[in-house]
Amino acid sequence: MGKLVKLALFVVAFGIALGLLPFTIGGLLGWLIFKKVANNRVKYGLLTVVAILILFFGSAWVAALNSSSKQPITPTKTIPTFSPSPTSTPVPTDVPKKELYKVTKVIDGDTINVEINGKNETIRLIGIDSPETVDPRKPVQCYGKEASDKAKEVLTDKSVSLEADPTQGERDKYNRLLRFVFLEDGTNFNKLMINEGYAHEYTYQSNPYKYQEDFKNAETAAREGKKGLWADNVCITPTPIKQTTAPTQTQFVPVVQPTQSSSTTTGGGNYTCNCSKTCTQIASCDEAYFQLNQCGCKARDADSDGVPCESLCR
């Protein structure tokens, strides 16, 4: 019996050392069995079997607890949330895209045709004036061809967006739409022509428009950089045109002195200088230009826009 006592004590000590409750209970139970029922071998045998079962199932229970306690803890991933900085500018999501129109023809450096709703419209660019090339009543002005070629290079077969300016009105006296023209990448084509020296800034009758300051700065930069028509020995000094209302920027026009001859052949017939004639007495637009440019009859151009007798020449 001494061996059983030692075994029980060993189990108790083992259970206490490892913190295993079933081993401790089993060991104590074995010791009690030995002490209380040593003379009854049958009961002793049955209780020993019970103690062994307690030890077995207790061990399994402890193993299960240890296994569950050792399961790896999966760290919870924290998904960072980004809140907009109070100083950041929100990105607009409802900005309408500008409508694009197909360029059907480039007339010259400041006039183009576009298709709008199936109709071909002539667009006169606001705020610029390029040298003349296509007016049959006027000679081709210096750097006019270069300006026209540049406009054709940039705009032919392209699509553009248009912007009106209420300060300039919807159309000019020739029924042309007055617009700023923008390329698909957002470039202001009006300003581009000035900036590259293919046109100069033009304020009609001193009436300010939206991009006037930018256009004037662009002309200054082109002139100082001697670009295009501002380059040395390219064009003669521009001759300013006087207006009856208010001064405007200079335009490139030929300097014409009145002739002293009483009769000159030009255009399609013989015209005689006679500044006393009114526009209603002049037979044709060609004669009106003759009276203005050859004879110096300034009364033929009352608004000083370079177009005489607009009832005939429009």
pLDDT tens track, the chain, 314 positions? 565 556 656 655 665 665 555 556 655 666 666 566 555 555 556 666 666 666 666 666 666 666 666 555 555 555 555 555 545 555 555 556 789 999 999 999 999 999 999 999 999 999 999 998 777 667 778 898 999 999 999 999 999 999 999 999 999 999 999 999 999 999 999 999 999 999 999 999 899 999 999 999 999 999 999 999 999 887 754 444 444 344 444 444 443 344 334 444 444 457 788 888 788 778 788 888 887 777 878 777 777 667 778 766 76
124 catalytic per annotation:
yes
Note the CATH number of domain 101-255: 2.40.50.90
176 catalytic per annotation:
yes
Question: Which residue in 121, 132, 196, 219 is the catalytic one?
Answer: 132
Residue ranges, CATH 2.40.50.90, the chain: 101-255
179 catalytic per annotation:
no
Question: Which residue in 115, 137, 163, 176 is the catalytic one?
Answer: 176
Residues with Cβ < 8 Å from 5, sequence gap 6 or more?
31, 34
Question: Which residue in 124, 179, 196, 300 is the catalytic one?
Answer: 124
